[in-house]
Amino acid sequence: MEMTLRKVIFPGSRVDKEINKHRIICAIRERGPISIPELTRLTNLSRPTVDEIIRAFHRNDLVVKDGPGIAQGGRRPILWRTNKDSGFLVGIDMESPGLNIVLTDLELNIIRKINTKFDLGLDQKLIISLLQEHICALLDSHPEARRKLIGIAIGVPGLIDQENGISCNLVRVPNWHDVPLVQLLNEAFDVPIFLENDVRLMAIGEKESNPELRDIRDLIFVGYRTGIGGCVFIDGKPFKGVRGNASYVGHITVEKGGLPCKCGNRGCMELYADEAAIVGRIRAATREIAGRDTATMTFKEMISERVREDLRVRAIIKDAAEYLAIGIANMVLHFDIPTVVIGGSIVEAGNEFLDWVRVCCVDHIKDLPAESLEIRYSACVSGSVPLGGPLIILKELFREPEIAFAGRLR
């Protein structure tokens, strides 16, 4: 997979040449439109080397001319920029029963998106067939997308085996077990397929798109989706674990001998703090709020400021905030990372909920000064998940080449 993707931009090159190409393309992506003299200055490469690489990029449509620049005592130099249409990316969010797919160019501009749902009772083969059908529809919406497709990234809830491309379970789909998702998609689309946890993609999308988070190296992200998931960034990189399931925070034990969870344990945080837990407790507590039947109310409506005026609802939501805070406090202490971002649907609960989480976290972390703990909401409520997929493809595509040594250094 890696070699296939890398050869899109670095075909048949020695490592030293790959490094030079990488330096130039990164300079163009970050500083473009940019002239060759400026590229020479930024990269410390010779003018002939830069000329040769730019010509090769231009032949492969990776860069295009952007008109003349400002003259510096002679002729006006030609400016170069990356060609956003030189490749296309597909990002998929399978938050069952939701199915959200986007087609983007190399600058992550969304060309087309599909938001739909599938029947939870469908056989896994029918779900895969439906997924392939929607991907084909996206690719056919642009004349060059299928030919220039670079990669597909898919985010799924539940456990994954990332190394083997397997979705171990799909929340809410009872007959989804150990599905070789990468292999099945590769049979239809001959490009690299990336499999990730959906909350990890949400976290990556949030960190890259939010200027306030982009330069923070160490960060804990907690996301509300079908359940509660997480992602920990260490030295700027998302920590994955052995199989890609690190920070499966919804199943941190917060209540000894508590309620039984579908994962096989008891007292998991999801049972007390996720959407289903809050909705279930509110409906059990009262059939009507502000003249409305709770059976017809959505999660967003139940956590709204107006509904929280009901003291029963307020107590339930505050209780959920405290259980969430216990899980977050455990992560903060475990990783020694005091910066936490909470994303997803719970953002609608507003600042009062966030304050409850902060207060409870401080109470559980005695040795950490309260002023050093920063807990904030995500800027992107949900749209960062499908865009997180194209982001990880781009990161791999433009990753700095590494030099591998076959033997020991003497």
Cα–Cα distances in angstroms (integers) from residue 22 to residues 3, 29, 81, 404, in the given order: 15, 10, 14, 17
- 11 pLDDT band, cuts 50/70/90, is low
User: Which residue type, as a one-letter code, is found at position 153?
Assistant: A
User: Rounded mean pLDDT of 135-144?
Assistant: 93
State both tokens at 188. Answer: 């239809």
Given a contact cutoff of 8 angstroms between Cβ atoms, the answer to whether 224 and 343 are in contact is: yes
Average pLDDT over residues 263-268: 91
Identity of residue 163: E
Look at residue 326 and tell me whether its pLDDT is greater than 90. yes
The rounded percent of the chain whose pLDDT value lies above 90 is 60
Q: Which region among 16-30, 63-77, 171-185 has the lowest average model confidence (pLDDT)?
A: 63-77
Q: What is the pLDDT of residues 35-83, one digit of tens each?
A: 999 999 999 999 999 999 999 999 989 999 987 767 776 678 899 999 9
For the chain, give the mean pLDDT: 88
Between 270 and 173, the more confident residue is: 270
Angle at 247 between CA 3 and CA 381, to 5 degrees: 90
Residue 310, CA distances (Å) to 282, 286, 307 in order:
10, 10, 6
Write down the pLDDT at residue 382: 55
CA 180 to chain centre: 21
Enumerate domains of the chain plus CATH numbers. Answer: 2-82 (1.10.10.10), 86-202+387-396 (3.30.420.40), 211-378 (3.30.420.40)
Region of poorest pLDDT, from 1-15, 372-386, 390-404: 1-15
pLDDT digits (tens, 9 = 90+) for 359-379: 999 998 877 776 789 999 998
Confidence band for 310, pLDDT divided at 50, 70 and 90: confident
Residue 254: its pLDDT value, please?
Answer: 93
Strand duo 88-93 + 98-105: pairing: antiparallel
Rounded distance between C-alpha atoms, residue 232 and residue 236, angstroms = 9
Instruction: Give pLDDT, residue 88.
Output: 95
**pLDDT at site 41:** 93
Asked if 185 contacts 166 with a C-beta cutoff of 8 angstroms, the reply is no
Q: How confident is the model at residue 13 (pLDDT cuts 50, 70, 90)?
A: low
Tokens in use for 408? 């020991």
Burial annotation 308-336 (CB, 10 A radius, 16+ → b, else e):
bebeebeebbebbbbbbbbbbbbbbeebe
Distance CA 388, CA 376 (A): 20
307 pLDDT above the threshold of 90: no
> Is residue 406 pLDDT above 50, yes or no?
no
Tell me the mean pLDDT in the region 333-358: 93
Give the pLDDT score at 409.
38
- How high is the pLDDT of residue 408? 39
Cis peptide before 97 (omega within 30 of 0): yes
- The three-state (H, E, C) secondary structure of 131-165, written as one string: HHHHHHHHHHCCCCCCCCEEEEEEEECCCEECCCC
- Poorest-confidence range of 168-172, 230-234, 258-262? 168-172
Rounded CA-CA distance 99/118 in Å is 7
Instruction: Give 231's strand partners.
Output: 221
pLDDT at residue 410 greater than cutoff 50: no
- As given in the structure block, the two tokens for residue 140 are 């056919």
**Two tokens, residue 221:** 């992200």
